[in-house]
Structure 1
Amino acid sequence: MSTIAPHSLAADATILHPVQTLDDTLRDASPARVIETALKTVGRERLALVSSFGTESAALLKVMADVDPAIPVIFLDTGWLFEETLAYRDTLIAALGLRDVRSIKPPEEALSRQDPDRELWFSDPDACCRIRKVEPLARALKPFAAWINGRKRFQGGARAEIAVVEDDGDKLKFNPFANVSREEIEAIYKLAKLPPHPLVTSGYLSVGCMPCSSRTAPDENARAGRWRGRSKTECGIHTMKTS
């Protein structure tokens, strides 16, 4: 843990200008320091990390575990995930000693009413993401004052200009890996001997729900396999406001 004083600029940011002050302070900070500052700013009981346990997730989870493995981790089990992702979640929980991983599922009542034939992913993928990811996450985040996610600028698209700290309705949103490169993530995997997601060797560079994930060619953006053939590039959890 860092030695940030309780009444430092980072701590006082929640009183003065929370987003801009924190972002200015952490603009060039290491991922570990961003997480340490988030922890000191709101406390463990009010901080959550949201992880897909996808192809790059282990790096962020490793950094978090080194800071505090008891920070709550929210995992959205949409009902459409690859079995390999569910197994990878369990592998990383054991490997990293994560103490509070909460697997959140969409309500069965909502699924039976809005997606009884499990075809919504095809006919209306935005609605499918809403009932399986966006709304369950919004409910899961209600007790928290801030949350951490693993978006990176190098992923491109809407992520190319993300700040390290963002205003997310009534919460703070921390992006500890905003500035990191793919090479730095690979270095974390190598140094910590982190297991890769089982589907990486099959050509999946970004893994979400089964119907909306496909293999990625070497010359494509890592997220090109998500919602292939559609204009959709985000599930919606990073465009919602959590208030």
Structure 2
Amino acid sequence: MDFDEIKSHIIKYQEEGKKLFTTSSFQTHSIVLLHLLSRIDKSIPVYCLNTGFLFPETMAYKDQLADEFGLNMIEIKPDVPKSLQKDSEGKLLFASDPDRCCYYNKVQPMDRLLSDYDIWINGIRRDQNANRAKMKVEEKSKFDSVRFHPMLEWTNKMIFDYIREYQLP
């Protein structure tokens, strides 16, 4: 999808009264989606899942992008504090039980969002892995929400060309 198609989808969702949000990992491919959204509607919430494992540089970059793009960045944290995320032997779950760690740090916080919103604008691309290659632009998600993948057909080259064209940080 190009900019106009993405904008058209977002406007259609909004006219239907849908509540929209996005999330970001603040990686290179994420920046393009954030910039596109800033050109369409700066009020769409951008959630940062602060797992407690993010680098300080990532958090500083998040703040930089919020300032430069004028985005509504909202940080959410897991319900279970990292200090309590340990197995029966006292090892941190990220080392001993990564699935449970991800459940506490990513799945539970995302479930809260999906239960409150209708549309999750998601920046995944087909070229990232075999599972994503099979995805559609719109897919049903939990709690009757929809995952909207506007960048599904984008490639690495398209991402880097966009970053260069708009001189993104």
TM range, normalised to the smaller chain? Answer: 0.7 to 0.9
1:102 equivalent in structure 2: 74
Larger helix share, 1 or 2:
2
Residue 36 in structure 1 maps to residue 36 in structure 2 = no
**Structure 2 alignment gaps of length 5 or more:** none
8 A contact 2:18–2:119 mirrored in 1: no
Residue 160 in structure 1 maps to residue 106 in structure 2 = no
Aligned CA distance change for structure 1 residues 95 and 144 (closer, same or farther; 3 Å): same
1:144 equivalent in structure 2: 117
Quote the offset at 1:30 in angstroms. 2.0
Residue 176 in structure 1 maps to residue 150 in structure 2 = yes
Count of paired positions: 165
1:7 equivalent in structure 2: none
Tell me how large the CA RMSD over aligned residues is: 2.0
Aligned CA distance change for structure 1 residues 118 and 74 (closer, same or farther; 3 Å): farther
Cα distance in 1, alignment partners of residues 25 and 12 from structure 2:
24
Identical amino acids, percent of aligned pairs: 36
Within-5 A mapping of 1:1-243: 29-42=1-14, 46-98=19-71, 100-109=72-81, 111-115=82-86, 119-169=92-142, 170-195=144-169
Cα distance in 1, alignment partners of residues 113 and 91 from structure 2:
23
Quote the offset at 1:123 in angstroms. 0.8
> Secondary structure of the equivalent of 2:10?
helix
Cα distance in 2, alignment partners of residues 59 and 136 from structure 1:
24
Quote the offset at 1:140 in angstroms. 2.5
Letter in 2 for 1:34: I
Aligned CA distance change for structure 1 residues 139 and 77 (closer, same or farther; 3 Å): same
> Secondary structure of the equivalent of 1:80?
coil
8 A contact 1:153–1:178 mirrored in 2: yes
8 A contact 1:39–1:47 mirrored in 2: no
Deviations 1:216-240 (A, max 9, x none): xxxxxxxxxxxxxxxxxxxxxxxxx
> Secondary structure of the equivalent of 2:116?
coil
Aligned CA distance change for structure 1 residues 74 and 118 (closer, same or farther; 3 Å): farther
What is the TM-score normalised by the length of structure 2?
A: 0.88
Task: Name the larger-Rg structure.
Answer: 1
Aligned CA distance change for structure 1 residues 118 and 48 (closer, same or farther; 3 Å): farther
Quote the offset at 1:114 in angstroms. 3.5
8 A contact 2:125–2:154 mirrored in 1: yes
Q: Once superposed, which parts of structure 1, at least 4 consecutive aligned residues long, lie more than 6 Å away?
A: none
Quote the offset at 1:185 in angstroms. 0.5
